[in-house]
Amino acid sequence: MAEVIDNEALFRHARDVIPGGVSSPVRAFGSVGGTPVFVASARGAYIRDVAGRELVDLVCSWGPALLGHAHPEVVEAVQEAAAKGLSFGAPTAAEVELADAVRARVPVAEQVRFVSTGTEATMTAIRLARGATGRDRIVKFAGCYHGHSDALLASAGSGVATQGLPGSAGVTEAATRDTIVVEYNDRAALEEVFASSGDRIAAIITEAAPANMGVVPPSPGFNFFLRELTSRHGALLIVDEVLTGFRVGPGGWLGLEGGYRPDIVTFGKVVGGGMPLAALGGRADLMQLLAPVGPVYQAGTLSGNPLATAAGLATLRLAGDAVYATVDRRSLELQAAVGEALSAASVPHHISAAGSLFSVFFREGAVTNYEEAKAQDQGAFARFFHSMLDQGVALPPSAFEAWFLSAAHDDEAMARIVDALPVAARSAQS
Ligand SMILES: *Cc1c(COP(=O)(O)O)cnc(C)c1O
């Protein structure tokens, strides 16, 4: 028998030795209150906490667990790789194979560079765009998250399009001065920004389909518009698929939407199969600007780590059409059940989806940008969240996150979730 530990006691101890008790802020339950679930193990659609309680998981490691937790073939691939050595600081054949697999699914990634985190992937993409264009400025959207590098931790000031303000203590004004923040889906604001300083803009970076302010799909044609606008002004288009890549379909959001070619694409989460691995890919002539071929420096001691590469390869190998069809179907089932339960309890809500990704906004009406995403009843979400948790279902602990399903969410796991919804919906009533 595994040792049984009390979550509360562990959280107290954790906060003594780790700021907030967590290694990444949203895990601390700050916006919903209460004690985070300390996970002891996970398998398929379930996680088990340190006290031995089993929960149906709708976080899925924030996306990577597309196949479910601890898929036997992925675990075996990692174990096999581990037995051959944990890290070499030298190239491996598996990296070449994974780059081939990425390119086969996302042809615009003509060449691929592996890094360890999504943050590194987008940070490098920005550096590459600046190096390639010789321009300083970048445009990002309010509510889009691209990791925590300084230039991308810019928040919007007031007004339609603003010079970025530091989004965190410790980020200097200099670091965000060249970041222009625009409201998502706002074409007029973008036209204005490019009309006034288009010749100084290196790139627009956008989430392929935003899912870090809740799920806010691009309005029809929006990504095509970004492509056209950047091309017209000699700027690059960086599409961040760290979250959507290989999750919403075999070729990510680009594979679903198709028809336009970004210059640089970033990947993370699913591509590492639950291990620390991320990547950027793009036009070969641009990628050739990266060191050692070109002048844009980028490096990493653990980049392309053999265990992470093995997990990514095994995951992509297993993530075929049947997996995506299952996740799509489960997503539709769950969206329908959540909508029904909240409607029956007369709780104002809007379910917003992009492919199999969806989130529930506790407000009426469609959400097209961050301003609207913020105008929801977070208290209602927190009550809903805790009721689900009490009933054995772990939702993402924030009203601004997508709910993640996996191919391992079978009828039984779905039934457990669906059975918990009516009580949770009543808890959410104001
Ligand atoms: C998670 C995420 C990142 C950051 O990835 P990390 O691995 O957490 O650094 C970047 N962009 C998007 C769209 C993400 O969802």
Per-residue pLDDT of the chain (430 residues; tens, 9 = 90+): 457 789 999 999 999 999 999 999 999 999 999 999 999 999 999 999 999 999 999 999 999 999 999 999 999 999 999 999 999 999 999 999 999 999 999 999 999 999 999 999 999 999 999 999 999 999 999 999 999 999 999 877 666 566 788 889 999 999 999 999 999 999 999 999 999 999 999 999 999 999 999 999 999 999 999 999 999 999 999 999 999 999 999 999 999 998 899 999 999 999 999 999 999 999 999 999 999 999 999 999 999 999 999 999 999 999 999 999 999 999 999 999 999 999 999 999 999 999 999 999 999 999 999 999 999 999 999 999 999 999 999 999 999 999 999 999 999 999 999 999 999 999 999 8
Which CATH number does the domain housing residue 186 bear? 3.40.640.10
Q: Is residue 428 part of a domain?
A: no
> Cβ(146) to ligand 1 under 6 A?
yes
Given the residues 46, 57, 145, 377, select the one marked as catalytic: 145
Given the residues 46, 57, 184, 269, select the one marked as catalytic: 269
> Cβ(278) to ligand 1 under 6 A?
yes
Q: Is residue 281 part of a domain?
A: yes
Q: Is residue 339 part of a domain?
A: no
Q: Are 161 and 182 in contact (CB under 8 A)?
A: yes
> Cβ(118) to ligand 1 under 6 A?
yes
| Ligand 1 atom showing the smallest separation from residue 207 Cα | 13
Q: Is residue 150 part of a domain?
A: yes
Q: Is residue 35 part of a domain?
A: no
Total domains in the fold of the chain: 1
Q: Which domain holds residue 281?
A: 86-318
Q: Is residue 81 part of a domain?
A: no
Task: Please give the radius of gyration of the chain, using alpha carbons only, rounded to the nearest integer.
Answer: 21
240 is catalytic: yes
Q: Is residue 204 part of a domain?
A: yes
Region for residue 333 given its phi and psi (left: phi exceeds 0; alpha: psi -120 to 50; beta: otherwise): alpha
Return the best residue to mutate from 23, 61, 122, 275 for the ligand 1 pocket (most ligand atoms within 8 A of CB). Answer: 122
The residue whose CA has the least distance to atom 15 of ligand 1 is 243
46 is catalytic: no
Return the best residue to mutate from 184, 205, 212, 370 for the ligand 1 pocket (most ligand atoms within 8 A of CB). Answer: 212
Q: Is residue 59 part of a domain?
A: no
| pTM exceeds 0.85 for this model | yes
